[in-house]
């Protein structure tokens, strides 16, 4: 344990700091969160009290070999960070379902997929990550979760300036010094330094300054870290309260949960210390935005990079799927009346509406009313919508074949002219369209695949979709060992599949696609997702 960290903990936390340091040498807790849209009955077990979907595990299973994990039935997430759900439900009550949320620092996707479940199918989650490789991993996890209400973006926080006041809730789970990971990841101890603490605290304030204008009046901002020191936690909360028109949000907690309730700048704070809770180190606060709270006060105005000129939206890239293909798309969705089908078209001359007036017309606000309710990667340029994440990787099969090219039985190599078919819940289609025209989007809704001669060749994301219509393709139920071989992209027995495209399932949970051509099986599980060892 770094000596200066020990001294810092004792100086800032006193006896609690000494107890915390001792607890960091203990055994880490282990927890998962199940997907309520894929798991219909609440599993038995020891629940996480502040998250209705969370469970503690006494022993670590072989996650890599579990088809339930690969099919999006659950997500391995630290129980402390699941507290974000409790904060959202306390702030929004029965209106939590349907809110529009921005997770500004979202990779790898634990909180984004949790918020996806909380916001529900009428809600919208924009999950952003500035570093491109981390954004790709985020997109994979979102696709696996399979709800269809998430847009993954790859932008610097400052690039969201045109969307000011359009989100009910903004989560800043800020990059931090990682002291909360000392028990779970001992290597993090060797990377710690006081200089890095100061660097992180300053960076966190810049992110908060960019995030604050994005919250609608009456909406909420959640700030969280996985560290213990006051400079990145309480000091930043006090700064936030002094610079912006924040309002305290009352949050109920049970004293038996072991959470340390505190206060900074008259805002409530919540600390999770190993030894008091089973999870790892975590800190969080939630504040509500009062009227006029979008303006920075006084001396720290320079911290916000949103003062720069907002980017012009580029020509529209997302249009509705042609009518002649919509009927074919309907057969793949169990409840098609709830969704709108779109397509990515380059070079369109149409332009989006005025972004500054889009809060109520694009459905960003939870009730349709906007007035109440590192490395920047490739964030430069005017934004735009890229193809589904499986198309982006060299050698990726896009859900069609192992060579990266669609498996076309007719040999024509010609699609029906669209840049791929996508599915969105209708209540949020216009909001996603505005995002596609403004930001760098790498995943949105459900990428369905491409049409060839009126027939859909499905993308892997469609297999992960919770509301996939099972009658659209033959279903092949595989036993455990065969399902594991499928996830390795190894050969599986042809006699288990019908001729043509098959949906591969294990215990009735979809895992992906495979195509039988006579005695040959084309395993369409994405190359980048396959099990590589064990």
Quickly list H helices, 393-503: 429-438, 460-464, 480-487
Length of the chain equals 534
Rounded Cα gap, residues 189 and 186, in angstroms: 6
Residue 48 region, left (φ>0) first, then alpha (ψ -120 to 50), else beta?
beta
**CB–CB of 389/464 below 8 Å?**
no
Helix (H) or strand (E) holding 344: strand 339-344
SS3 254: coil
- Please say if 220 is a catalytic residue: no
**CB–CB of 513/503 below 8 Å?**
yes
Peptide bond into 216 cis (omega under 30): no
> Which candidate in 169, 220, 226, 362 is catalytic?
226
**CB–CB of 120/95 below 8 Å?**
no
Q: If DSSP states are collapsed to H, E and C, what string results for 125-146?
A: EEEECCCHHHHHHHHHHHHHHC
CA–CA distances in Å: residue 319 to residues 244, 345, 416: 39, 7, 15
Rounded Cα gap, residues 266 and 247, in angstroms: 9
Lookup: tokens for 321 = 């799927």
Q: Which residues lie closer than 8 Å to 195 by C-beta, 6 or more apart? A: none
SS3 91: helix
Q: Please give the backbone phi and psi of residue 297, each rounded to the nearest 5 degrees, phi first.
A: -95, 140
**CB–CB of 169/218 below 8 Å?**
no
Helix (H) or strand (E) holding 484: helix 480-487
Using alpha carbons, select from 529, 394, 526, 376 the residue that is nearest to residue 440. 376
Lookup: tokens for 468 = 């996939």
Residues noted as catalytic: 226
């Amino acid at each position: 344990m770094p000596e200066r960290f020990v001294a810092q903990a004792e100086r800032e936390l006193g006896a609690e700091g000494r107890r915390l340091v001792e607890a960091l040498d203990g055994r880490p807790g282990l927890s998962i969160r199940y997907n309520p849209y894929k798991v219909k009955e609440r599993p038995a077990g020891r629940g996480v009290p502040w998250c209705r979907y969370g469970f503690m595990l006494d022993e670590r299973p072989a996650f890599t070999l579990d088809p339930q994990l690969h099919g999006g039935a659950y997500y391995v997430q630290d129980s402390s960070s699941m507290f974000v759900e409790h904060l959202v439900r306390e702030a929004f009550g029965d209106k939590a379902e349907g809110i529009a949320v921005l997770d500004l620092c979202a990779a790898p996707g634990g909180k984004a997929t949790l918020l996806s479940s909380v916001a529900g199918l009428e809600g919208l989650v924009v999950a952003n990550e500035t570093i491109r490789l981390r954004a790709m991993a985020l997109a994979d996890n979102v696709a696996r979760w399979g709800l269809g209400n998430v847009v993954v973006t790859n932008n610097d926080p400052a690039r969201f300036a045109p969307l000011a006041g359009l989100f009910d809730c903004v989560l800043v789970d800020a990059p931090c010094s990682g002291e909360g990971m000392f028990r779970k990841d001992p290597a993090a101890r060797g990377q710690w330094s006081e200089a890095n603490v100061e660097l992180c605290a300053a960076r966190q304030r810049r992110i908060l300054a960019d995030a604050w204008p994005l919250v609608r009046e009456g909406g909420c901002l959640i700030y969280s870290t996985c560290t213990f020191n006051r400079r990145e936690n309480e000091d930043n909360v006090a700064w936030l309260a002094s610079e912006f028109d924040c309002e305290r949000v009352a949050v109920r907690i049970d004293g038996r949960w072991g959470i340390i309730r505190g206060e900074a700048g008259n805002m409530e704070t919540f600390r999770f210390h190993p030894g008091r809770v089973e999870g790892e180190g975590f800190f969080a606060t939630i504040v509500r935005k009062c009227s006029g709270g979008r303006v920075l006060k006084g001396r720290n105005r320079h911290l916000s990079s949103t003062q720069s000129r907002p980017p012009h939206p580029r020509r529209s890239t997302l249009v509705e799927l042609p009518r002649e293909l919509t009927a074919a798309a309907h057969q793949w969705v169990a409840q098609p009346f709830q969704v709108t089908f779109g397509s990515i078209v380059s070079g369109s001359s149409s332009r989006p509406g005025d972004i500054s007036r889009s809060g109520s017309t694009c459905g960003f606000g939870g009730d349709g009313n906007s007035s109440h309710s590192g490395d920047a990667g490739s964030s430069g340029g005017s934004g735009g919508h890229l193809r589904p994440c499986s198309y982006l990787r060299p050698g990726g099969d896009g859900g069609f074949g192992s060579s990266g090219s669609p498996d076309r039985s007719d040999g024509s190599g010609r699609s029906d002219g669209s840049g791929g078919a996508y599915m969105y819940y209708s209540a949020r289609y216009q909001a996603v369209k505005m995002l596609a025209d403004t930001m760098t989007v790498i995943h949105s809704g459900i990428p369905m695949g491409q049409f060839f001669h009126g027939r859909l060749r499905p993308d892997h994301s469609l297999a992960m979709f919770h509301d996939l219509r099972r009658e659209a393709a033959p279903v092949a139920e595989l036993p455990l060992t065969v399902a594991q071989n499928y996830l390795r992209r190894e050969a599986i027995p042809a006699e288990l599949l019908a001729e043509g495209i098959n949906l591969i399932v294990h215990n009735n949970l979809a895992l992906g696609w495979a195509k039988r051509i006579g005695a040959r099986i084309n395993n369409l599980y994405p190359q980048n997702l396959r099990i590589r060892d064990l």
